[in-house]
Structure 1
Amino acid sequence: MEYTALHKLLWLLNAFTLTTQELVKLNVRPKITAECGKQVTLNCDVSSSPNGLSIKHMAWIQNQTSLCSVDEEGKIKPHSRTDFHCEYKHGQLSLIFKRVRPLESGNSKPYTCKLQSNRGASNAKTIVVVQECCWSFEGVWNEGHPTCTFRHVYPDGDVHWFHGSHNLSDGSVKQHTTKQVDNGWLTIHSYLEHNLSGVSYNCSLKSTASGRYIASSLVENPDLHAQRVRAQVHTTRARNGVGSQRPMWTFFFVLISLALTQN
């Protein structure tokens, strides 16, 4: 009889403990899709009733490294990194990246929000998926070759060259392309061993992830550009009447000559 009563008492205590622990839950978005280079915010909310809840410690953690934490007084612990900051208000801890990078992306690098309170402990995970992008690109004429550079590329891309409507990346023209990784970003540099006149070149970056073009730049031969500028100047002068001044002076000279002859 005593054993049965003790057993029931222990069962009730365990059930009570589980019930109180279930009251402490964290709300996070399990997956966040972000545009690379843009601001992204990871919010962690305590979903249980605030009545009687005392938060002792709350933190955002990645790879067992604490990125952002608050103590029982709600004070944020300072950190040395400058690429993000933390905000805390009424049971919500936010981790805010100013410009999200590929280093913050992927299923293998989840972010975990952890909570310790008088009602038990809890945790929740989220992942950040950074979309494909190319921050900057330029096309120039360098040492007689059309050249393009794509910077801050993610995740990867292939350079396709066009001369007018003709795709030169079919192997008919030799191109040199190099790729360099720096702090999670990719820089792609490409140039052609080709110099055709007539129309401009176009270099386009095709994403290996989606198969779509994410950046494009026009590359023009400087000689062709100079010819085009001269043609535009000539056309403008003709429209403004600059080219018709000589015939007008000739007409006035003929009139003056006739007048003198009659006198």
Structure 2
Amino acid sequence: MAVFTPAALFLWFFAVVTTATNRLMELRASGLVAEQCHGNVTLLCDISHDKTLKVNHFSWIRMADGETLCTFNDDAEAKKHNRILCKYTDQEQLALTLRHLLPADEGNYTCKLRSNLGIRHTMSAVKVRECFQGSEPVPSSSGVACRFYGVYPQGEVHWFDRDKNVTDKSTADNSGKPDRHGMYNVSSRLLTEDRSREEYNCSLWIPSTGAYLTSTLVRMPVKGGATSVHIVGLVWVLFRTWILIA
């Protein structure tokens, strides 16, 4: 015949009560949600229960800094973060929406519930995918240059002359430091004396993914083009002056 110590009886009783309580109420949340930066993501937290429920506290918390971003009695219009929307539905679901996603939003989020049926919490995670905001040519007196901005994660510029990689002839101009939103600006100059080539392919390479994110064609500056513009402008001014005098 087995003999139960007081400690063993307590653990058994605690396990029975916990199991019974878990059957009365469950909390389910979105798992891993991945989206490109500048997009929108919504984390859902749902309550499932068998008895009458009275919610005392229901919230989404960002684990990186412990800040409560959303609670069940929030007014979405009055939220101090204009990128964050919070909605509690009659179906006992708490939805946290992160708008215009930034790298700083990546990480774990906890959904917490306190009610008459007990205390529960569950986790969700946000993954920010690689992206870029835009690209533009950069003025260069010698060769060609281009710039990608709003890049995440950090990238590199690779140059191609048709199918030939000529990156070894280029110079990177980016500082390597992200801006306040966690984005990078990536730029490069390709020095070339070959004026017979009219354009080069400027491609954005993301080392962490081992893939090219985007590319753009950059044309060689027209030699003497700026001078031609100034001459045409001067002729136009002289012509207008002659008309006024005449």
TM over 0.5: yes
Cα deviation digits, residues 87-118 of structure 1 (max 9, x gap): 1102100110112111111xxx3100000000
Distance 1:176 1:18, change over 3 A: closer
Matched, 1:207 2:203: no
Query: Match for 2:56: what amino acid?
Result: K
Shift of 1:139: 2.3
Distance 1:125 1:13, change over 3 A: closer
| Contact 1:140–1:220 (8 Å) recurs in 2 | no
Aligned counterparts of 2:160 and 2:211: Cα–Cα separation in 1: 16
Cα deviation digits, residues 67-100 of structure 1 (max 9, x gap): 1012xxxx21653111111111021001101121
Aligned counterparts of 1:110 and 1:9: Cα–Cα separation in 2: 34
RMSD: 2.8
Q: Percent identity?
A: 31
2:68 maps to what in 1? 66
Matched, 1:218 2:217: yes
2:74 maps to what in 1? 76
Query: Could you state the TM-score of these two structures normalised by the residue count of structure 1?
Result: 0.72
Cα deviation digits, residues 114-142 of structure 1 (max 9, x gap): 00000000000011111111121122443
Deviates more, 1:130-139 or 1:9-18: 9-18
Aligned residues: 212
| Contact 1:111–1:126 (8 Å) recurs in 2 | yes
SS at match of 1:142: coil
Cα deviation digits, residues 195-249 of structure 1 (max 9, x gap): 421221221011112211111111112317x7xxxxxxxxxxxxxxxxxxxxxxx
Map 1:184-203 → 2, pairs under 5 A: 184-199=182-197, 200-203=199-202
Map 1:239-250 → 2, pairs under 5 A: none
Tell me which of 173, 178, 183 is aligned to 1:181. Answer: 178
Distance 1:197 1:69, change over 3 A: same
Shift of 1:30: 2.1
| Contact 2:170–2:188 (8 Å) recurs in 1 | no
Shift of 1:43: 0.5
| Contact 1:205–1:216 (8 Å) recurs in 2 | yes
Query: Match for 2:157: what amino acid?
Result: V
Map 1:1-263 → 2, pairs under 5 A: 15-16=16-17, 18-49=19-50, 51-63=51-63, 64-70=66-72, 75-76=73-74, 78-89=78-89, 90-105=91-106, 109-169=107-167, 171=168, 173-178=169-174, 179-182=176-179, 183-199=181-197, 200-223=199-222
Distance 1:56 1:223, change over 3 A: same
Which of the pair has more CA radius of gyration? 1
Aligned counterparts of 1:165 and 1:12: Cα–Cα separation in 2: 72
Structure 1 segments unaligned to the other structure (5+ residues): 227-263
Aligned counterparts of 1:103 and 1:141: Cα–Cα separation in 2: 32
Distance 1:222 1:10, change over 3 A: closer
Structure 2 segments unaligned to the other structure (5+ residues): 226-246
Query: Could you state the TM-score of these two structures normalised by the residue count of structure 2?
Result: 0.76
Shift of 1:29: 2.0
